[in-house]
Amino acid sequence: MAITPRRTIKLRTKDLNLYYGNFHALKNITMDIPEYAITAIIGPSGCGKSSFLRIFNRMNDLIPSAKVQGEAFLGDISIYDGGTDVVALRKKVGMVFQKPNVFPMSIYDNIVIAPKRHGINKKADLADIAERCLFKVGLWDELKDNLKKNALTLSSEQQQRLCIARALAVKPEVILMDESCSALDSASTMKIEDLMFELSENYTIIIVTHNMEQALRVSDMSAFMMIDENRAGTLVEYAPTDIMFSTPKDKRTEDYITGKFG
């Protein structure tokens, strides 16, 4: 995939290293991630895919022993600069987890909880946000008459869509999706994938997936990670998805995407 003017670099890392105490979790990761595209992070379990994803919204900060070295940028913002406002960063970089993590409250309250925390309190504004976000994830027509319903009563696929809508409520620039379809059946997975395509028109999306078919179907770029001899996660190959899956440069990439290990 060529980096067109609409696909300038949105996120980048240079010689990025992550440590959990004495454990070297990520080693010298250098990547440029394009804007308004879907980038898939693939690789065997334990190679640091999720840890890498959490670099971009500083979720690793929640682990006391975590330490980051090297560079990570969102546009021209240095993510790990001492003066970076982490709350503002996480507003720009939303995250959707492996299992739907809706809050035990109404559908409406799930959507507006974050905007309220950011100072939006007018009922009309909050109602507009709820409608806009539910519409974007294809849930408005299904749920508009039941916004007071407990979100836990929704199907798994609806709950995951609601989590995406909740992430959109604060108008992020980037959406991180960590195995966000792994708990869904095939039909629900296809609906979420269709949603990813739609969202990538306006958002930069990074997904972690073990599903090679999914990576091939939805992503513009793919990054293959492995662990080295010291069990540190390393970047083996990064390329447009169609090129990586048809003509991988590294034999390890070929072996992984063809199912010889992983």
Which pLDDT value is given to residue 6?
Answer: 52
- Domains assigned to the chain: 5-257 (3.40.50.300)
Output the pTM of the full model.
Answer: 0.94
Which runs of E-coded beta strand occur in 9-102? 9-20, 23-34, 38-42, 66-74, 77-78, 93-96
Q: Rounded CA gap, 2 and 132, in Å?
A: 32
Residues of the chain with pLDDT under 50: 1-5
Q: Rounded CA gap, 30 and 71, in Å?
A: 9
Is 49 in contact with 225 (CB distance < 8 Å)?
A: yes
Helix 107-117 to helix 123-136 angle (10° resolution) is: 120
Closest alpha carbon to 7 in 33, 26, 31: 33
> What b/e string do you get for 76-97 counting C-beta neighbours within 10 Å, with b at 16 or more?
eeebbeeeeeeeebbbbbbbbe
> What does the chain come to in residues?
262
Residue 192 neighbours by CB under 8 Å, 6+ apart:
157, 160, 161, 164, 180, 181, 184
Count, in order, helices (H) and strands (E) of the chain.
10, 10
Is 24 in contact with 51 (CB distance < 8 Å)?
A: no
**Residue type for position 25:** A
Which pLDDT value is given to residue 1?
Answer: 43
Which pLDDT value is given to residue 73?
Answer: 98
Q: Give me the residues paired with residue 72 across strands.
A: 13
